[in-house]
Structure 1
Amino acid sequence: MACSPLSLAEGDDYVAPPAEESDNGRDAVAPAAAAPSGDTNEEIAAPAAPAAVAADGDTPTRDLGRVEVTGSAIARTDAETAVPVTIIQADEIKQQGITSTEELVSQLSSNDTSFGPGLSTGTAITAGASFANLRGIGTDKTLVLLNGRRLANNSLDGGAVDLNTIPFGAIERVEVLRDGASAIYGTDAIGGVINFITKKNLSGGDIEFGYETPTQGGGGDSNDISATWGNGDLEEDGFNIMGSLSYRKQNHLDYTDRDSIREIYDPASGIYSVSSYAYPANYYQGDISGNPLAASGCNGTGLVDTGGGTCSYDYGRYGQVQQDSEKTSLYTRASARLAENHSASLSYLWSRSKNTSLSAPSPTSSAPEIQPGTPFYPDDPALDPTQPVSVRWRGIPAGARETYNTIDAKRLVLDFTGDFSGFNYDSAVSWNRSTTDLDYRGGYLSDDDLENAFNDGLIDPFSTDPLTEAGQQALADAEASGLVWTAQTDVYAWDGKLSREIGDWFGAGSSAIAVGGDYRHERLKLDTDADVASRATSGGLSPDASVNEDRDVKGVYSELNVPLIDGLEITAAVRYDDYSDVGDTTNPKISFRYQPVRQLLIRGAYSEGFRAPTLYELYDPQALTFSPSGLSDPQLCPGGTPANGGVATRDCNTQFQEQQGGNEDLEPEEARNWTLGFVFQPFDSFSAGLDFWWVEIENEVSAPTSAYVIANDPGSIARNDDGSIDYIPVQNQNLGKTKTNGVDISANYRKPTTYGLFTIGYSGTYVDRYDFQESPDSSYVSNVGHYRSGYGTIFRWKHKVTFNWARGQWAAGLINHYQSGYDDYDTETHDEVGSYTTWDALASYMFMAGPRITLGVKNMFDRDPPFSNQPEVGQSGYDARYADALGRTVYARLNYTF
């Protein structure tokens, strides 16, 4: 393989360009910035030089050896492959104040959304889990690896790996393959691959402390500590042992502590964040409705007068911008040299994420009835006194619903690596487990018990007076608490591969081949406490929500790399997978890498993908939860106006229950991916790159939104005896096709001066198209730059810019984050969500004795999230997926290496 400024080989004297990825990560085209393979102990190049050396512009080089880069199974003597791989070093991550894998992934311009503990406001439980979503095509189509191998999917969601299970303190670097449908790791990697690689062969230790707090009041601070230690050298001593322990605690921030973004009810702006489940209760009989405080203009705590003779309740007053959480992880690894060029290692991972989520007090979801002649039957002459009335009451005296969630992850891997007779081999057996416990700590109430208490004269649903002693006891008897749901996913796996050079076929360099296979057994178990689930009506869980399903997946693959002429090489791969439940599939991948001149690299790839529905998507039990607000019954409130016996607060601009769940008739998704990239490096200190990408997906698995069902399939809506909506079915389906394309842009500049080393890094993603179908035969809907109900938005443009300086023991940096604006959820009342720009700054000093202190500020201009009238996630007034309501935060980090 030819050597050039873009291809550092053994003995080359080359000063690496700065990061191609703007988060100070290195693209694999910059060889001196590449890093160790996920499964070997070899290194491509030295880690970034310390500040004292970098200030002089003298970056050391070293012998490369042969390594693997994410996306290929062939060990190579250079770091550039035909597919775009971004490499981000751990030191660079921490220097920017990033303290979690969730935060790291959310800052990738190629990642579209982030899911975290601030998004859930009601019964939509996330348990604090966070997921990656490369290209915005779904969290279930981004493959997350640890040291090149799969982890168990989150047991609560079942479609993706929870990023919180990754041992953050043990990470050495992260490799992001921005090309999808990998024939190496599995063709379900349609959006791309994120490979977290831990420290190996570590000698010495490191302790780090961090603290972060918003400058505005109310809470939301966090602190973390991590300790890593290793002993022994695999080559010199024949062994190495290491361990890493991390702990992070995050305190809650209430929505009411951010008045600048808080919105409740503003029809002119499209905000309807209120509920017909009120305190005191609203009552209904046919088209007659009322509330005791309606005549006073709903003059009560948390009440909003929305008209129609009833009162609505501000449920968001109990919401949180950030929830209480604790994350602990332990990673250990012991490796030993078995013989010359042969080694074995045993690693163990344990992590626990604990999250406490609060939501508004329990509503009487099934609308209990008060019978004629009972003590609290409403005194309303418009009512038929011989008929019952249904009530929508909220259990304010019981307090907020509190759910305590625990996610445990365990992983054990025994692997063997080495060389023999010109072959490089790597094989491992592994066990992965993810367990989630949902514990109702308080506030969940039984509708049946409340109905009895209303009719027995123990609780007056139309009064806000303190409960009597008998009423307090009745409320306590109605409360449902305890461990309600346990979910567990297990993956037992084996994998192995061989690679070697096979000769110089065309006089342009040695060809190489790799062959491999893998097997995994997947199991999903869900167990529900039927008593707690049946009584906790607003929890939405079915009492019969128990599952025990499994399947086997077998796969074999091969990869061939052939240099054809000087500077041009072709790589071809093919993978065969056999799923015991959905059948088999064969998928190819072909790529090329061409370097016509020393300063230019051209690369491209085509691949086909296949993603079988997960066990969770197939067998997830049916459950009821509340839809987004702002919906209207198409029968009783067509066009947002009550008709045919409709009641405004019950049937218009409100929430309904929706039934979610799996579908055993789902078909696999199929995909095609194309990439074409250019990297230009006119001189050593500057590089720029363009990577164009196209993705097409068929039979995409997702759940239709309630808004879509209302507009396109109203006949499927389940109704109560009085004609009102009982629930809207939104089970998983094969919805149709998705087509998206865009370009990743990067540029980097490095300038050594007598005043220090200055570096500038830039990366951005421009999405030209993102069109999808909401059903197989429907027309395409554009999602790029437009909010779509149930899907959020795909940003037209996102970028990150870093400015860094280092001299001696001093270093400083400035970081800019930007994302473009987009059409809002309800454009008739608010047309566009504004663009969002924030700036971070940091400075650090490394003492001669070893400690390093870093001080920084995130969002230093205290930018509020742009206004959005979306009603689907988090709190109203902004979108918690795309903007941070904490405001300006300051942080300090102390690191000591020994």
Structure 2
Amino acid sequence: MAYDDALWNNVSARYACAWDTGRAAVLQQPVKTLTYLARAVARVAEDHQISLEVTGSNANSAKLFSNAQVSSNTSNFQVAYPLNSLTAPTYNAVYNAIRGTFPAVAANYGKPIAFRWRCIACGPREYKTDTKTIRVTLAAEGPLWQGWDYRAGGSYAKSEASSVLGSGYYYRGTLNNGAYDPAAPTAPGASGAGLAGLLNSGILNPFTLNQTDAALAALAAVSAEGATLYGGRYEVKQIDYSIAGPLFTLPGGKAQLAAGVDFRSETYSFNGSAAAAASAPVIFLAAFDNVNALRRRNRQVKAAYAELLLPAFEGFELTAAARIDDYGDFGTSTNPKLSVRYRPWEPLMFRGSFSTGFRVPTFNQIFNGITDSPYAGRDLADPVRCPGGIPNTTNPSCTAVQPNIWTGGNPDLRPETAKMFGAGVVLQPAPKFSLSLDYWAINVDDTIQLLTERELIDNAALFPDRFIRNPAGELAIIDRRWINAGARRTQGLELTARGGVDGFGGSFLAGIDGTYLLKKREKLTENAPYGPSLIGVFSFAGDLGLKWKHNAFISYSNEAVTIALTQLYRDGYRNQALPGIAAGTVTRPDFNEYVKPYVTYNLAVSFLNLGNSATRLTLGVKNLFDVDPPFAITYDSNTGSGGAWEPRVADPRGRAFTVQADVKF
């Protein structure tokens, strides 16, 4: 369809076209999984027992992407539609259509026609991945002395994955300088190797959806299906020991102590692909990850912890805990936790807690190499010279630029830290009735983030080192690698309610679990001010800050059947405004400033004791009324999630039916 250059505030793209990648997205990726579990327990010396457990899984999945977009560039993929005996009818029709709008091109007759093309004949791009996991645990537990117990264990876990190319991938056929690659396959009749040879010969026709049988056969001849992408392995070896028992007596009961130590060794490796080696022919658009190949990396973690329960007096309990973690590559972190529970009256309880925590970067976030990708769009200006980074042809400082984008690991990352607080009240006036309300606050500092291009552009003054320039002072690179960026402050209320009555030979139960967001604000650097509230507004990164969301249910059950109806509610929020609307230069009659709330219902019926007491059959309907997600503007070149629904809130798959059988023997 025609590209809406006014909506995107990109006048230079007036004659461009648009293709809806969201319609090509695969909503349900195919996957087959086999899981297994075995456990054996032996009793030793009467009160001690030793257990051995083995769990694992084998999974085969296929991840599908939209068909490849093909367009010429002046460096490594110089393709255009030629004029020859094979192409003359199509060439002349296209040339005459262009000349009718741009008469000045009449002198160019006979020259190849440049194009941008979505290769429908290529089929969807596909990765096929096999993943194997296994975990073996050996544990022993039993009494030590009066009232004290121990538990000791050791485990080994491993996860391995490998990926190969499926459909939709083809050898490019050119070297980095644009010349044909002699190592790439050449289809019969083509003037050069790979996909480039097919296009420059006119065998593939970008101006039609219907390719000839010869073109399809030639396309198959340069297919890269089956080429290995990459693989990786993650291993964990762990041993732990803990003891627990009473210490002394207080007015409210016996003080209890639990303490333990554990040690684990983590190993990670990532294999690149021989198909992406320097001497191998390039596969067009394949996400080879050789830049992230890692030899075995090892991290050792030692930890010790203790937890003390003090029933100071009747109805009042104080729990104090602390944990020390020693990471070989990040140093030591000590994190305490303090919690209280007070029940002055049997139906009423007050509770509260305070704790600290931390999270270290993953191996990938630290060690991944730099992936250097060209920015393909024409919707970006230098944000230092043109605040906001939106191109404007009337302003020389706001000309469109196409820098390279760096992504990858950052060896200078630090752990992120957090402080958490919570306080609440619980009412239980009767056995089947309860109500709780809790306030919580989470403060996170040095957050480990992968900032979007838009976040960097909008805050260019805060991250000058992320905009790298060439000797002429022009923007050459935007560095989007992982970063410790600022802080996040989040506060909210958690509501839980349950109520039930007996009747009609069974029991009715209703309940709700809801979250009301009070605060969500972020800042991108330590010294920057906190930004505006993120509650109820669209954002590209993280979770959307919905003001209210809940899961509610009502159920009936007796000895033979259980029926449950569940409601899922997600509050609405302010929609994203595309550049033209945001700049106030254009309006669209169907633009919804606010995304509507998303409400769906699920129904499940379980039949119990079928044939014997250990059999259950459950029939279910998800999204009972087949509700479509509310329209939301979510697409951008960074996420590519589609422009009609918000994947962090809604599910576009509609009504679905489920069957589950449980048999114990």
TM-score by length of 2: 0.80
Taking the TM superposition and a 5 Å limit, the aligned residue runs for 1:777-792 are: 777-781=527-531, 782-792=533-543
Match of 1:187 in 2: none
Indicate if the aligned counterparts of 2:268 and 2:363 stay in contact, CA closer than 8 A: yes
Pick the aligned partner of 1:520 from 239, 259, 264: 264
Q: SS at 1:449's partner residue? A: coil
Change (3 A) 1:445 1:312: farther
Q: How many residues align?
A: 599
Cα distance per residue 1:361-386 (max 9 Å; x no partner): 2235883454899869997856998x
Cα distance per residue 1:347-371 (max 9 Å; x no partner): 1111123221221222358834548
Indicate if the aligned counterparts of 1:369 and 1:391 stay in contact, CA closer than 8 A: no
Match of 2:188 in 1: none
Pick the aligned partner of 1:507 from 218, 240, 251: 251
1:657: Cα distance to partner?
7.0
1:530: Cα distance to partner?
4.2
Q: SS at 1:490's partner residue? A: strand
Change (3 A) 1:372 1:842: closer
The AA in structure 1 aligned to 2:238 is: A
Match of 2:127 in 1: 403
Pick the aligned partner of 1:704 from 441, 446, 451: 451
Indicate if the aligned counterparts of 1:599 and 1:682 stay in contact, CA closer than 8 A: yes
Change (3 A) 1:463 1:762: closer
Pick the aligned partner of 1:837 from 588, 599, 602: 599
Match of 2:643 in 1: 876
1:738: Cα distance to partner?
0.7
Match of 2:558 in 1: 807
Taking the TM superposition and a 5 Å limit, the aligned residue runs for 1:561-572 are: 561-572=309-320
The AA in structure 1 aligned to 2:657 is: V
The AA in structure 1 aligned to 2:165 is: Y
The AA in structure 1 aligned to 2:211 is: P
Rounded to whole Å, the distance in 1 between the matches of 2:154 and 2:7 is 54
1:608 corresponds to 2:356: yes
Q: SS at 2:457's partner residue? A: helix
Match of 1:296 in 2: none
Pick the aligned partner of 1:862 from 623, 626, 630: 626
Q: SS at 2:365's partner residue? A: helix
Pick the aligned partner of 2:157 from 424, 432, 436: 432
Rounded to whole Å, the distance in 1 between the matches of 2:488 and 2:56 is 37
Match of 1:302 in 2: none
Rounded to whole Å, the distance in 1 between the matches of 2:643 and 2:271 is 33
Pick the aligned partner of 1:693 from 435, 440, 443: 440
1:596 corresponds to 2:360: no
Q: Unpaired runs of 5+ in structure 1?
A: 1-263, 277-286, 290-306
1:361 corresponds to 2:67: yes
Q: SS at 1:697's partner residue? A: strand
Indicate if the aligned counterparts of 1:860 and 1:888 stay in contact, CA closer than 8 A: yes
Change (3 A) 1:814 1:546: same
Rounded to whole Å, the distance in 1 between the matches of 2:381 and 2:326 is 45
1:886 corresponds to 2:653: yes
Match of 2:585 in 1: none
Rounded to whole Å, the distance in 2 between the matches of 1:666 and 1:402 is 33
Match of 2:544 in 1: 793
The AA in structure 2 aligned to 1:538 is: L
1:484 corresponds to 2:229: yes
Q: SS at 2:166's partner residue? A: strand
The AA in structure 2 aligned to 1:777 is: N
1:694: Cα distance to partner?
0.8
Indicate if the aligned counterparts of 1:540 and 1:624 stay in contact, CA closer than 8 A: no
1:558: Cα distance to partner?
1.1
Match of 2:423 in 1: 676
Taking the TM superposition and a 5 Å limit, the aligned residue runs for 1:34-73 are: none
Change (3 A) 1:808 1:560: closer
Match of 2:27 in 1: 321
The AA in structure 1 aligned to 2:144 is: F
Indicate if the aligned counterparts of 1:411 and 1:431 stay in contact, CA closer than 8 A: yes
1:810: Cα distance to partner?
2.7
Q: SS at 1:531's partner residue? A: helix
The AA in structure 2 aligned to 1:524 is: Y
Cα distance per residue 1:625-672 (max 9 Å; x no partner): 798989534479953544679999xx69xx997432110000111111
Q: SS at 1:320's partner residue? A: coil
The AA in structure 1 aligned to 2:412 is: D
The AA in structure 1 aligned to 2:380 is: S
Change (3 A) 1:630 1:470: closer
Pick the aligned partner of 1:496 from 218, 234, 241: 241
Rounded to whole Å, the distance in 2 between the matches of 1:667 and 1:770 is 23
1:350 corresponds to 2:350: no
Cα distance per residue 1:421-455 (max 9 Å; x no partner): 03211111111122222211122234453954447
1:480: Cα distance to partner?
6.5
1:398: Cα distance to partner?
2.3
Taking the TM superposition and a 5 Å limit, the aligned residue runs for 1:169-184 are: none
1:529 corresponds to 2:273: yes
Rounded to whole Å, the distance in 1 between the matches of 2:80 and 2:169 is 27
Rounded to whole Å, the distance in 2 between the matches of 1:768 and 1:370 is 55
Change (3 A) 1:563 1:537: same
The AA in structure 1 aligned to 2:458 is: A
1:396: Cα distance to partner?
3.5
Give the root-mean-square deviation of aligned CA atoms: 3.9
More relative contact order in 1 or in 2 (CA 8 Å, sep 6+)? 1
Rounded to whole Å, the distance in 2 between the matches of 1:848 and 1:349 is 29
Which of 600-609 and 435-444 deviates more? 435-444
Pick the aligned partner of 1:340 from 46, 68, 73: 46
Pick the aligned partner of 2:569 from 807, 815, 818: 818
1:760: Cα distance to partner?
1.1
Change (3 A) 1:409 1:726: farther
Pick the aligned partner of 2:520 from 753, 761, 770: 770
Rounded to whole Å, the distance in 1 between the matches of 2:228 and 2:170 is 15
Rounded to whole Å, the distance in 1 between the matches of 2:563 and 2:422 is 36
Which of 713-722 and 563-572 deviates more? 713-722
Match of 2:138 in 1: 414
Taking the TM superposition and a 5 Å limit, the aligned residue runs for 1:716-727 are: 716=466
Rounded to whole Å, the distance in 2 between the matches of 1:628 and 1:743 is 44
Change (3 A) 1:580 1:473: same
Indicate if the aligned counterparts of 1:603 and 1:676 stay in contact, CA closer than 8 A: yes
Pick the aligned partner of 1:667 from 394, 410, 414: 414
1:774: Cα distance to partner?
2.7
Rounded to whole Å, the distance in 2 between the matches of 1:820 and 1:591 is 32
